[in-house]
Amino acid sequence: MKIPILDLSPAYRELQADLDAAYRRVMDSGQFLLGRELAAFEEEFARAVGTAHCIGVANGLEALQLVLMARGVGPGDEVIVPAHGYIATWLAVTHTGAMPVPCECDEGTFNLDPARIAALITPRTRAILPIHLYGQCADMAAINLIAVKHGLLVLEDAAQAHGARIQSGAAGSLGNAAGFSFYPSKNLGAFADAGAITTNDGDLAGKLRALRNYGSRERYHHEALGLNSRLDELSAAALRVKLPALAAWNARRSVLASRYRAQLAKVGDLILPFVPAASEPVWHLFVVRTTHRTALQQHLTAQGIGTQIHYPIPPHLSGAYGHPTSGAKRWRRGDFPIAEKLADEVLSLPIGPHHTAEQIDTVCGAVRSFFNQR
């Protein structure tokens, strides 16, 4: 049995009639940017997240970058970011001219550890940028308390957390603003790069609508140095079709995650994801940890089981941030030992709304057989 880590084609087949109709609707309209589909999706996604505003943009990285730009974050400023996560979060800060300041993560949840934030705050700190990593919300109550005390912007990176919740609400509604990615493999994915920003701040939303469109609210009148970062009509139309399916797809992921957690408890040195009591993750990824990662991955590959490492190189050790032109501090191995340990041990197992219970059982059996042989 070949088991890919994720197969995107079944989602199209499930919704094919509606997706094809949406494509034809856009093509027949002759309108491909900043049109009716985008306006409708922005309204529908804002309602789903629980915010007053949604601004569609070209991708998740620029969603974060645009919020920082709109709030005036730039050269000389600092933004606190997780040490463990995808580099796009850091790049959004760097592209404004500000400095990413890494904060270690909680080893259980993989998310930003609020207990470590206060020690990193300086007079130059302007924002905290937590990631809801792997589909589980960061500890936003604790992060918001710190931000309010120090007058800081809280910008959620919700790229992996469409539909995730904690007691205070849904991902995307828990800070001053949030950036989403609709990259095809996300829980809510388009068929190309796409993104959005959610916020309850009407003034911020107005600035963002201008900044995504060359800094222009009125054609040929440019009030700011903006970007070309617009969510196109085809992507918006596809996302409108997929959005009503998101809750059911997330529920399927949750069932599969429970299957993993039941069958892989106390297997070898395998560490399973920790879920706090108030958290409702959406299992964008099912990430385990083991000191035998390379051997386990090879064992699973030999049996036709797809895996992936999210993420093998911490941003602070990447070539991008080791280069003098990055403007960043020259970090070295050992500077963020938890992030480095996670990078050496994490392994993502197959999970998606169209995986079957039988497939997950097969993966679990292969994992158990690996540790039984040791």
- Which residues pair with residue 155 across a beta bridge? 177
| This model's pTM is above 0.75 | yes
What is the CB neighbour count within 10 angstroms for residue 158? 33
Environment class of residue 161 by beta-carbon count within 10 Å: exposed (0-12), middle (13-18) or buried (19+)? buried
Does the pLDDT value for residue 328 go beyond 90? no
* Banded model confidence at residue 330, pLDDT cuts 50, 70, 90: confident
- Phi first, then psi, for residue 131 (nearest 5°) are -100, 135
Alpha helices by DSSP H, the chain: 9-14, 16-29, 36-49, 60-70, 88-94, 140-150, 202-211, 233-242, 246-263, 293-302, 319-322, 337-345, 357-372
Q: What is the pLDDT of residues 130-155, one digit of tens each?
A: 999 999 999 999 999 999 999 999 99
Does the pLDDT value for residue 282 go beyond 70? yes
What pLDDT does residue 243 have? 98
Average pLDDT, the chain: 96
- Phi first, then psi, for residue 363 (nearest 5°) are -60, -45
* Banded model confidence at residue 359, pLDDT cuts 50, 70, 90: very high
What is the CB neighbour count within 10 angstroms for residue 82? 29
State which H helix or E strand residue 278 sits in: none
Residue 70's closest CA among 215, 190, 169?
215
Beta strands 221-222; 216-218: pairing state: antiparallel
Per the CB < 8 A criterion, the answer to whether 176 and 153 are in contact is yes
One-letter amino acid for residue 307 of the chain: T
d(CA 290, CA 42): 41
Give how far Cα 100 sits from Cα of 103, 234, 269, 277, 334, Å.
9, 34, 33, 31, 18
What is the CB neighbour count within 10 angstroms for residue 118? 10
Does the pLDDT value for residue 248 go beyond 90? yes
Q: What is the pLDDT of residues 338-348, one digit of tens each?
A: 999 999 999 99
Which tokens in the block code for residue 192? 């190309």
**Per-position DSSP letters for 317-336, written without gaps between them:** GSHHHHSGGG-S----TTSS
Percent of the residues in the chain that have a pLDDT greater than 90, as a whole number: 95
Does the pLDDT value for residue 220 go beyond 70? yes
Does the pLDDT value for residue 165 go beyond 90? yes
* Banded model confidence at residue 96, pLDDT cuts 50, 70, 90: very high
Does the pLDDT value for residue 326 go beyond 80? no
Beta strands 286-289; 346-349: pairing state: antiparallel
* Banded model confidence at residue 325, pLDDT cuts 50, 70, 90: low
d(CA 313, CA 348): 15
d(CA 118, CA 161): 25
The 8-class DSSP code of residue 84 comes to S
Which tokens in the block code for residue 279? 């958290």
Residue 271 CB-half CA count within 13 A: 16
One-letter amino acid for residue 301 of the chain: T
